[in-house]
Structure 1
Amino acid sequence: MSSNGAAARDYQSRPWSMVHVIMILFSWRSVLLSVYYPQIFLILTSGSYLALSSVVALGANIICNKIPGLAPRQRAICQSRPDAIIVVGEGAQMGINECQYQFRYGRWNCSALGERTVFGQELRVGQSGS
């Protein structure tokens, strides 16, 4: 296969992976996104990276303004570079996964304090993962 074929394959796969990452990053709001931002789901059939990036840019202000705890500078970065926030979210999730793996047999496995968690439910030692 020529290098053009590989580039075309990569181009076609990017919108799918970007939508997937967006939905994972904002999974706790995925229902709201599907109801209030149906454009994101229309992208799944378009196969166009340009269309996806414009939808992300349009929704960035709305999404970034609803993320609790962002400092003004972080909010500005989120609005101007939503791709950077996605990568930050991926990195944080990777860090949590690695921490939980490293401390998997300990009393503390990187779970958050109290009822609040960083990225959804975290397992406690002695609980099944079902």
Structure 2
Amino acid sequence: MEWTGSWNSFYSTKPINVVFSEWRKKMIAINYKSYYNPWMGDEWLFSYKNNEMLEYHYENGYNIDMQGEGCVTIEAKKVSLNAVATLIEFERETNFEPYNINLHLKDLYYYVLVLPEELENSEFSRKLHELFISVLKV
């Protein structure tokens, strides 16, 4: 089985129920339906436009259909984060040497936004990515 879709990870302090509620509203605004599925300790919100798109998804996985759209999923779970992040120079836009930051955070939420295509290949995926970021903003 081949993995499909573009997987985009986020950490946020915004609770899952709030994120899912706001996401549902944004999906309704573009005529998408969503259904919730808790599974193995994670929470999932799957969104699709119509039954034809859903059938296409079952046959082809996460892909753009003939109308340039596709199914979307948010996977979410509550986590703690104990990690080291390394700050590095990005496209020469910073004036500091790389260094590490220790992160020890509790009661965070980890989200994976699964889009039908990579951001650089799909206007639709870019639009939904921006919508999701707007939902996560506090």
Q: Scaled by the length of structure 1, what TM-score is found?
A: 0.26
User: Which has more helix, going by share of residues?
Assistant: 1
Compare CA radii of gyration and give the structure with the larger one: 1
Q: Which has the higher contact order (CA 8 A, sep 6+)?
A: 2
TM-score of the superposition, structure 2-length normalised?
0.25
